[in-house]
Amino acid sequence: EERSKGSFEQDLVGLEASVKAVEKQVQQLQAHIRSETATIPKVEALLEACKLQSQDLNHITSNLPQHLPAANYAVNLAAPRSYASDSQFNTSTSSQPASNLGRSESVKQGDDSQMAAGRQQKR
């Protein structure tokens, strides 16, 4: 009986250790599930933001012209921006009467003459 009592105690100690290990694993799994559950709203918000961004990009893509002008943008970015450089994007031709020029074109032409006058005064 002593032997069997001692082996039962050893088995019981082993079982208790196994149960404690399983309980610890269950607690870790529960903590992981709680953290994953807490991130679900964040992920849903990110998915919605991605969906909206994708829709915006698709809208932009659908409204792009089929052919973009071949321009050396690296040179344009390196050069300082001035009203004179806007003339390359001017769609009006000199054969059009002044009344056909848009207000912004008239303003730009006035600004160009003011800039030239300012440069002459500085000299």
pLDDT tens digits along 25-55: 999 999 999 999 999 999 999 999 999 999 9
Residue identified by tokens 């992981």 is: 32
CA separation (Å) from 48 to 56, 61, 123? Answer: 12, 20, 59
pLDDT tens digits along 1-24: 667 777 888 899 999 999 999 999
Helix (H) or strand (E) holding 69: none
Question: What residues contact 112, with CB distance under 8 A and at least 6 apart?
Answer: 83, 84
Q: Does 63 have pLDDT greater than 60?
A: yes
Q: Does 118 have pLDDT greater than 70?
A: no
pLDDT at 33: 98
Torsion angle of C-alpha atoms 109, 110, 113, 114, degrees rounded to 10: -140
Q: In this structure, how many other beta carbons lie within 10 angstroms of the beta carbon of residue 86?
A: 14
Mean pLDDT of the chain: 74
Domain spans in the chain, listed from the N-terminal domain onward: 1-63
